[in-house]
Structure 1
Amino acid sequence: MSETSSNVSGATPASPEGSGWGVTLKLSADTVDDATPIFATAHVEGAVEWTDLEFRYRWSLDVEEDGPLHGSSGVYDDQSQWGFIPPQTGSFWLCVSVRHKHTGVVMEASRWVTVQEDESFRRPPLPSADAPSVVEVKDVSMIFNIASEQFNSLKEYFLALARHELKFKEFRALDHIDFEVKRGEAFGLVGTNGSGKSTMLKIIAGVLDASEGSCKVTGTIAPLIELGAGFDMDLTAKENIYLNGALLGYRKEFIDAHFQDIVEFAELQNFMDMPLKNYSSGMVARIAFSIATITEPDILIVDETLSVGDFLFQKKCERRIKELVQSDGVTVLLVSHSIDLVERICDRVCWIEKGKMRMVGPTDEVCDAYKRLAG
């Protein structure tokens, strides 16, 4: 029968008599705000090989074991550190179980952590009417011509073209959109899939030219629009940092000075010499976000880039965006399907639906109307 011991404080190792080893649980912090992940690390002391151990983490709200909210890291594995994202504010009990693969002995240690509301960030106030505009979108429409029938080969296509039998139908991705974004705002774009949000951002970033109307942008732009844009997948991550930085207008000397900061923020120190084609989409997103936000651009455009990263890195990116918003000099344009994220960061929101602008105004008003659409 396996032995089990508990260590609530984490100050001294839990070690049953005769086992020869014990465990303590250390946390990255005892008190955090609700936007901060908690890192729990198991420390094992005594005569035992780490390769003989496996770990499992549990958490519970308000009480030890099975509180009103509870969960675990899953099955036992070899991870001695675990990142926990609190689902809400409150007091959380965190516990690590360490099992010896051969003897079956299980050690446990636990700690309490307090999660409080993040009071450090406030959405920027609504801009004054005379505040300078950095983005002016006036009566913008984007029209794509789509072939009215499908062809099975280029030969069929060119035969139809030569015979003047090729017909197109007009598709309006955007239909007479009007809004302004003031300097220092955090401006959100919301809407269902295919509503035209990303097309609007591409026009602002200069990737597309509007079919009708005008879009005036004042200042430098750091666009995070399409994953992998500005990268060469055959080059290493290190080479791509310099390539993408050059495309954003950074000199080599600037990248040299900030290279380590970029790598550390991306948390990819061990993968710099690996070709980007071997990266996951989340790893590419880490590199792209780190380069774009290494300095404070005039305008940062973020289009669902964060959605492909892991949850811990999403939180890290969100904190960086908040820092940029609080700096007063950076304007953030954010497209996200996460209404919670838009509500946390943006002061104003534009709702685009099926290419038409449904509403633009203060975040709470627009998001409430948008959520009512979803039922």
Structure 2
Amino acid sequence: MNRLTKHWLTKRVSAAAVTALIVFAAVAAALLLRPDAYDARIGLLAVPRTTPAAAERADFGVVVANSLPAVIEVAHSVSTVTAAASRVPGAPADPSTIIENVTVDIIPASGLARLTVRGEDPDVAAGLATELAAELVQANLLSPTAALRVLDPVPTVKHASPDLLLAAGLAAAAGVTAGAAALGAATLWWPRPERRLRRLLEEAGIGHAVVVIHDDGSTDGLGTLRLLRETVGRPLRLVASEPQLVDAAARLSDTLSLESAPINDDRRVAVGLVTHSAAPPEPLRATVGSLPDPHEIVAVILSDDGTRDEADGGPRTGSERNLNSDAGPVANRQAESTRRASTELTGVGRHASRTDAAGRPVNGSSRREDLTLGEPPGDDPVTGEAASASAR
């Protein structure tokens, strides 16, 4: 796995991990910071009346099946809740608050109804459950064939809020789900460098296949580039898509120019496009469009290098080099030295050509000419009289 792929995976896994941690912390905080809640549960059972007249009037099963669901509506009525809350100390004054925390479950084909009241205080919740059950019994919803009977005089109270272990489990499950979703979204939003680059090349008009080489400082990338140069059998030229990538192209050029490669076709060149994984599409399209033949591109080198400036304080301006020519780094330095020497000699010629009829320099002294030529000043002593005469 190369460095760019590792960076791609690290970036997306980091984003998914951060998302998972945020969701985990948010869910855990929301569960742990909630006030404590307690559920008071009591059961109501439908039983037949023992009077013969009642048994003759209707069938017990039909009455229970048709009338027992009415318990749900009666338990949520304002009048019933208000009457029950008036006998419970500490109960909320607003009946709507109590109604929101009342649940009635009908057990099918059993004649059993389960009444649950949730509250922050266990004693208040138990008192409300007991009084509501009493109100439902007194309502005689199944009369005259049947009647409701409270199973247990004391309701069962349980802690309803999630404890630390349950809250941690729920938060972990939510965090893992959110992290997986974030990783999938990041993968779709930020594709791999190779996939993104191929899409950009297709948009720029490069429909043929190219070799993607990772310039991660290892020998694998250079070995692949050398093998590609030998395979195409043409002069290989590196072109940087952006100015900050010129150094990377020059470094690869200097390295590859030290080794010669056979050339089978010197009429055409092969182009290696040097870019980076997050290259914007505009410079890449402009670079591809500036080539005489875009089909000359045989490789794309992905490099994150290119931020270093040259020693003279600015980036290099040249963006391409011929890798199969005899001009390597040594020849380039020699050419630069020759250019500088030519410039210096041209300046010396300008100073030396301005002389009078006696052969003495004009607008300058013999010492200035010696310094311009890079030689030490003359050894002839200059007396005070000669200096005065020269001044006059």
Which TM-score band applies after superposition, normalised by the shorter structure?
A: under 0.3
Indicate the structure with greater helix content.
Answer: 2
Q: TM-score, normalised by structure 2?
A: 0.17
Structure with greater strand share of residues: 1
